[in-house]
Amino acid sequence: MWDYLSFIIKHLRERLWIKPLIVCVLSIGAVLLANLIDLTELGRSLPEITKESTEALLKIMASSMLVMATFAVASMVAAYGAASRSATPRSFPLIIADDLSQNALSAFIGAFIYSVVALVALMNGFYGGKGSLFILFSLTIIALTVIIITFIRWVDNIARLGRVEHSIDKVEATTAAAILMRQSAPRLGGVAVEGPPDGGQAVFGNAIGYVQRVDTKKLQARAVELQLKIVVAALPGTFCTPTRPVAWVIQQGPGKVSDEDAGIIADTFVIGRSRVFEQDPRFGLLVLSEIASRALSPAVNDPGTAIIVTGTFVRLFVLWDECDKLEGSTKVLFDRIAVPELSMVDMFDDAFTAIARDGAAVVEVVVRLLKALEALAVIDNRALRDNALRHARLLLVRAELSLQAPDDLRRVREAAGFAVQPSVKWISRTSK
């Protein structure tokens, strides 16, 4: 249940209205509860504050906070548009979930609602004692202090929000979190898949879209109850249709799985219109690759961004290898659920194919990419090494077909020396 709530909360963070709504409710509650202090002994001993001073502060806040909220929304929309154009639209959910921007907008709108409600209550005699006036005055001072601090922090953040480096950092952090989550429960906590299911019953989803989450804990409970073994056929990130199985059910007891039980099993696969990052590390790699590919387009012509993304890939694959070697990385939590492992071939293809294709004619990108692949090839991990060598050789082929200058070809061949046999004799593509 907690995993599901966490999944919902993460996606609610992408809605700009959630935090402002919460702050507005808290603001109204604070205004109304301030009057209760007059019912206590403490309220009679508090210092006396004039009604006029509190009213003046509330009027200043009410007249300025709506303008600030409007300015904040306009700035955020402009920054979001710049981030989508300079990076990739797939990074937009991460940019819009920026805590500082949401907190700033929430503070400005909440302060406006607070000041309006408090001003109406004050002018209509809602606060009768000196205790409630003191509490209201104190709350107003605290609100102004929070607004000033929030505004200063937000101005510094909004200057970076639309930059491509900020988007790369956001995607890298989210992808790293997905890798840590995935490696802490390899195969989503299930057992390894041992060949294709033999005599299993196919379970189909009822929606068209991408698998966003698989609730293996719920699958395990259903498998234990019905004496089943369930083989997951659609990992998070898989595009599903009603004709593609999301799982295979192997009956270990008498009878057959009913349509109702099959529907419950299918419901553990959350299918949406787009991919999400939480259980899908490949999506993060793909989004980073899209950022680099856009930077290499003739319209942008920014090879430096592609080089930055290349370094990001090295960090992420090294993190994957480090997590894979940690003690307990093969722990099985759900013995009746079989889940295929993520393919290192697919992960490397998601990361490096687009950069190699679009940057093959840019010598600095090719050389840096080869150095990155060399760094991955020397890691004591056969899957990493084999795929790094495979992509290095593919990159060399693309560069041979795209580069014209002999000096550029020489630099690329020297950088690719780790991926080829020493006996290979290089022949210039211009010589016949």
Q: What is the pLDDT of residue 432?
A: 33
Percent of the chain with pLDDT over 70: 88
Q: What mean pLDDT comes out for the span 374-379?
A: 93
| Top-confidence range, 178-192, 223-237, 303-317 | 303-317
Instruction: Return the amino acid letter for 402.
Output: S
Token pair, residue 83, equals 């981030």
**What is the length of the chain?**
432
Q: Which two tokens stand for residue 73?
A: 């929304």
What are φ and ψ of residue 191, in 5° steps?
-95, 170
What is the CB neighbour count within 10 angstroms for residue 85? 13
Confidence of residue 426 (pLDDT cuts 50, 70, 90): very low
pLDDT at 396: 94
Q: What is the pLDDT of residue 382?
A: 92
Contact 237, 346 (CB under 8 A): no
Contact 317, 331 (CB under 8 A): no
**Confidence at residue 35, expressed as pLDDT on a 0 to 100 scale:** 74
What is the pLDDT, as a whole number, of residue 329? 60
Three-state SS at 337? strand
Residue 423: pLDDT over 50:
no
Instruction: Indicate if the pLDDT at residue 255 is higher than 80.
Output: no
Signed CA dihedral, 98, 101, 105, 107: sign only: positive
Q: Say if residue 386's pLDDT is above 80.
A: yes
CB 27 within 8 A of CB 113: yes
pLDDT of residue 428: 36
pLDDT digits (tens, 9 = 90+) for 219-251: 998 888 888 899 999 999 999 998 999 999 987
Q: How far apart are the first and last CA of the chain?
A: 68
- Select from 109, 33, 114 the least CA-distant residue to 67: 109
Determine the topology of domain 182-272 in CATH: Aldehyde Oxidoreductase; domain 3 (3.90.1170)
CA angle 196, 200, 203 (to 5 degrees): 105
Q: How far is the C-alpha of 413 from the C-alpha of 217, rounded, in Å?
A: 50
Mean pLDDT (whole number) for 330-354: 90
Mean per-residue pLDDT of the chain: 84
Q: What is the mean pLDDT of residues 344-349?
A: 96
Its sign, for the CA torsion 272, 277, 282, 285, is: positive
The b-or-e profile of 43-72 (16+ CB within 10 A means b, else e) is: beebeebeeeebbebbeebbebbbebbeeb
Taking the domains of the chain in order of start, what are their residue ranges?
2-162, 182-272
Residue 87 has pLDDT above 90, yes or no: no
Bridge partners (DSSP) listed for residue 272: 210
Q: Is the pLDDT of residue 43 over 90?
A: no
CA–CA gap between residue 36 and residue 126 (Å, rounded): 11
Q: Which residue did the predictor score with more confidence, 71 or 365?
A: 365
Between residues 69 and 413, the one the model is more confident about:
413
Q: What is the structure's pLDDT at 14? A: 60
| pLDDT band at residue 384 using 50, 70 and 90 as cut-offs | very high
Work out the pLDDT band at 431, boundaries 50, 70, 90: very low
pLDDT of residue 253: 63
Q: Are strands 334-338 and 190-191 parallel, antiparallel or unpaired?
A: parallel
Q: What is the pLDDT of residue 25?
A: 85
Rg (CA), the chain: 29
- Does residue 56 surpass a pLDDT of 60? yes
pLDDT at 71: 83
For range 165-173, the mean pLDDT: 90
Q: How many CB atoms lie within 10 A of CB 160?
A: 14
Going by their DSSP bridges, the two strands 228-232 and 245-251 should be labelled as: antiparallel
Per-state percent for the chain, helix, strand, coil, to nearest 5: 65, 10, 25
Nearest to 247 by CA among 229, 272, 224: 229
Q: What mean pLDDT is predicted for residues 399-405? A: 92
**pTM (2 d.p.):** 0.80
pLDDT for res 4: 55
Which residue would you say has higher pLDDT here, 24 or 230?
Answer: 230
CA-wise closest residue to 220 among 247, 194, 195: 247
Q: What percent of the chain has pLDDT over 90?
A: 37
Backbone angles phi, psi at 296, to 5 degrees: -85, -5
Residue in 105, 193, 211 with CA at minimum distance from that of residue 157: 105
CA distances from 1 to 7, 22, 215, 217, 230 (A): 10, 23, 10, 9, 20
Tokens of 359: 């940057």
Coil, helix or strand at residue 421: coil
pLDDT at 388 over 90: yes
Amino acid at 225: E
Give CA torsion, residues 111, 113, 116, 117, to 10 deg. -120
pLDDT score of 337: 92
**pLDDT tens per residue, range 283-298:** 999 999 999 999 999 8
